[in-house]
């Protein structure tokens, strides 16, 4: 089938209608940072707090997505690009459904994050940089991946054998080695509330 044979179908229920029903706007909150910098912890803790406030949410986590939607992808530059492209397209659907999406992905390169932002749309995208020194991430190493990367058992591991480019103008920087989870969550929730007004 050719792409020209696929026709877009317009919906009768719009994003704006769903947002009114939910009593809040939908948005993507993108947590980026080195592995073990606290992205997933903060995304899930933020989701719990938003849920308590009556906000409809869903968390997309890098490892979880690789069990299903992206189970066919590895970790080469090209495969990471495709992994993030798929995530961005899924997030667009969630935003259209009126959901606040919390996304925790290393997304190590600036060009990758810019591509994600362009797919989702800048006005619907909040970038949270979970900043943490690589030495502390290594000491945390909850999955033992840094150890494997240092031993050469894992190739192209971000922070060890593959680069991480710090965001230049994130919406929020959280020094996750200095702030408690609770302090970080309050800052994220405050930012989300401001964007939703």
**C-alpha–C-alpha distance, residues 31 and 39, integer Å:** 6
Based on the number of CB atoms within 10 Å of its own CB, is 59 exposed (0-12), middle (13-18) or buried (19 or more)?
Answer: buried
Which residue has tokens 């309050």?
186
Kindly name the residue from 26, 40, 107, 162 that is annotated as catalytic.
107
107 belongs to the catalytic site: yes
Q: What are phi and psi of 27, to 5 degrees?
A: -160, 160
Question: Distances in Å between the alpha carbon of 64 and those of 59, 69, 70, 103, 181?
Answer: 10, 9, 9, 11, 21
Q: Which two tokens stand for residue 179?
A: 């702030």
The CA–CA distances, whole Å, from 76 to 79, 151, 185, 189 equal 5, 19, 32, 34
Backbone angles phi and psi of 87, in degrees to 5 = -60, -45
Give yes or no for a contact between 134 and 34, defined as CB atoms under 8 angstroms apart: yes
Active site residues: 107
């Amino acid at each position: 089938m050719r792409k020209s044979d696929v026709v877009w179908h317009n919906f009768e229920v719009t994003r704006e209608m769903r947002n009114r029903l939910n009593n809040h706007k939908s948005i993507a909150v993108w947590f980026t940072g080195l592995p073990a910098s606290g992205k997933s912890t903060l995304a899930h803790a933020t989701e719990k707090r938003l849920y308590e406030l009556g906000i409809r949410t869903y968390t997309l986590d890098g490892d979880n997505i690789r069990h299903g939607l992206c189970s066919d992808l590895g970790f080469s530059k090209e495969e990471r690009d495709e992994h993030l492209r798929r995530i961005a397209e899924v997030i667009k659907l969630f935003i259209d459904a009126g959901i606040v999406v919390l996304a925790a992905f290393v997304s190590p390169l600036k060009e990758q994050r810019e591509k994600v932002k362009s797919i989702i749309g800048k006005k619907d995208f909040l970038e949270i940089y979970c900043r943490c020194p690589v030495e502390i991430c290594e000491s945390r190493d909850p999955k033992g991946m840094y150890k494997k990367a240092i031993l050469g058992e894992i190739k192209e591991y971000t922070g060890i054998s593959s680069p991480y480019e710090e965001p230049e103008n994130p919406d929020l920087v959280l020094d996750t080695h200095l702030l408690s989870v609770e302090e970080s969550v309050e800052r994220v929730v405050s930012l989300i509330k401001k964007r939703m007004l």
